Structure 1
Amino acid sequence: MSMAPASLSSRQGTVPPEPGARPDLACYDHVIVACSFGKDSLASTLHLFEKGVAPQRIEWWHHLVDDDGDVFDWPHVPDYGRHLAAALDVRLYFSARQGGIVREMLRENAPTAPVWFDTPTGRVTVGGKGPPNTRRRFPQVSANLSVRWCSPYAKIMVADGALRNQARFGHARTLFVTGERAAESANRARYAVFERHLADCRDGRIRRHIDHWRPVHAWSEAAVWQILRRHGVIPPLPYQLGFGRLSCLACVFMSADQAATLRHMDP
């Protein structure tokens, strides 16, 4: 479960497909959407519907960044996701790093905590056996994931572990879908739309074929809201309060106005 910091600073660009390539949605055994329940991951899911992917073929993977408390997560979001998954007939699986962001932030002379993830047959726990180390750092406001470590350690590496440690993905084809959009930042604008996932092992003994697709990468924010309206999806509470995205409740990228709102809501 450990990963060198240099690997965290660039999450794309393994073996690119041909320019303009798009996935053949009918050829996959598993279709997974990394779903924060934010507008972009919801739009990605609804786009799959409109491209003919049946809801029953889709799995939502939602990473809890707290695990055992309400510090960084919006406390209502998991229940929102459960109700929406039931309404859309999509399977929902939760996962987390034990102790979440708080435990990793305060880690002192200890290995990075294990990861747990729900599966069709129950909960699995892996990792947590690395060398002792000390972090004791807040995530930094940076595009470099080796210092803005909250995203990889609480989300990206959690998904990687779940993909690598389930036999059902071996000798199968999996499409992993995320909702990054180019308009969000210069860094995200450089992401590939379609590529091999870092957990891909199609040339190895277990033939784990995993593609990574960002279907709304070129979309405007207006297009995202339009598809939610077409399908009658009510966005989660933060958008209704005026927040522009569903990030962590206590996100290090929050503006001064957002911090003032958070102080009023949750002193």
Structure 2
Amino acid sequence: MSTTLHIPPQLRDADAYVLNNSAGKDSSAMLHLWATSATDEMLERTTVLHLDLGSAEWEGVPALAAEQAAAYGLPFEVRRRERGGLLDLVRARGRWPGPGTPFCRSYLKRDVARKYYTELTTRLGVTGRPAHIVTALGLRATESTVRARRPAVATDRAASSGRRQITTWLPVHQLSTDAVWKTVRASGIPPHPVYRQLDRLSCKLCPFAGRNALITAARMAPDTALDYALVEDEIGQPFRRDLSMARIIEAAEREDPGPVRALRPCGAGVRTLPHRTGACAA
């Protein structure tokens, strides 16, 4: 695998580079490749941005994202939605995010990032033309058909304005999972412990995850699972149309979910869910 990142010519003279870092394997690989391939001038204009998902996020994620940025001497910023997290959104809307309505991404990530771009534009103080900001995301084509169709470089017209041009770049779009892990290992920064049991570092309990992954995650984060089940009862809507959180909890208590592709075998000391009485199955 090449350790050099191809940086498109049209991105080489941007005023600022924002590397969105979730602390997951893809973001970590992207960060390592950028830090070891970009010029000194580019690195001087780089900021690592972590969009903190609050209680929906695994413990230690913001700290790991900060550690990854510090390893390369890059400035680190954290931003979070000011008007509450995922469960606040679910209560307000009376439903959970779904395939056709992934409002968690727009409210907790996209809108928060755009607010940061406004802040950064003011800070840059570019005059006479729009400031050019490149925002890099660790999305890969092999993750889904939707992501496979995304162009590696595109202007984010909705986030751009007369004061700024936002270009979205997917540096690791064509990398295989194998290549990503090789890059992570080359960085020398240990991945998050969640990867011992799950193949993705997403929200603790993501509606877009598979059933086996959700059962495993419920065992790993029993308090969060119970919180979600209570909100599920409160709004009268299941976590997923085909799978309620109550059923996920029940399965976590009694089933072996089977293998979930993990970086290495599951370790000892995994917490189990206490028995929950009065669960309302969808």
TM-score (norm: length of structure 2): 0.68
- 2 CA distance for matches of 1:150 and 1:106? 12
CA contact (8 A) 1:64 1:100 kept: no
Q: How far apart are 1:23 and its partner, in Å?
A: 4.1
CA contact (8 A) 1:181 1:216 kept: yes
1:196 corresponds in structure 2 to 155
Please give the per-residue CA displacement for 1:185-224, whole angstroms capped at 9, x wherever unaligned.
10001101111123223xx2x3x13221111111111111
1:244 corresponds in structure 2 to 199
1:145-184 mapped onto 2 (5 Å cutoff): 147-166=101-120, 167-169=122-124, 171=126, 172-184=131-143
Could you tell me which runs of 5 or more consecutive residues in structure 1 were left unpaired when the two chains were aligned. Answer: 1-19, 108-134
More helix by share: 2
- 1 CA distance for matches of 2:107 and 2:146? 19
Q: How far apart are 1:176 and its partner, in Å?
A: 0.8
More strand by share: 1
- 2 CA distance for matches of 1:47 and 1:88? 11
1:225 corresponds in structure 2 to 181
Q: How far apart are 1:265 and its partner, in Å?
A: 2.2
User: What is the SS of the residue equivalent to 1:222?
Assistant: helix
User: What is the SS of the residue equivalent to 2:80?
Assistant: strand
1:31 corresponds in structure 2 to 17
2:46 corresponds in structure 1 to 58
Equivalent position to 1:45, from 31, 34, 37: 31
User: Sequence identity, in percent?
Assistant: 31
Could you tell me which runs of 5 or more consecutive residues in structure 2 were left unpaired when the two chains were aligned. Answer: 1-5, 223-282
Please give the per-residue CA displacement for 1:102-125, whole angstroms capped at 9, x wherever unaligned.
211112xxxxxxxxxxxxxxxxxx
Alignment coverage as a number of residue pairs: 208
- 1 CA distance for matches of 2:8 and 2:179? 20
2:65 corresponds in structure 1 to 81
Greater relative contact order: 1 or 2 (C-alpha under 8 angstroms, separation 6 or more)?
Answer: 1
Q: Which amino acid aligns with 2:219?
A: H
CA contact (8 A) 2:138 2:172 kept: yes
CA contact (8 A) 2:18 2:134 kept: yes
- 2 CA distance for matches of 1:227 and 1:21? 17
Q: How far apart are 1:85 and its partner, in Å?
A: 2.2
User: What is the SS of the residue equivalent to 1:175?
Assistant: strand
CA contact (8 A) 2:28 2:68 kept: no
Equivalent position to 1:186, from 124, 137, 145: 145
- 2 CA distance for matches of 1:73 and 1:21? 31
- 2 CA distance for matches of 1:169 and 1:212? 18
Provide the alpha-carbon RMSD of the alignment: 2.1
User: What is the SS of the residue equivalent to 2:57?
Assistant: coil
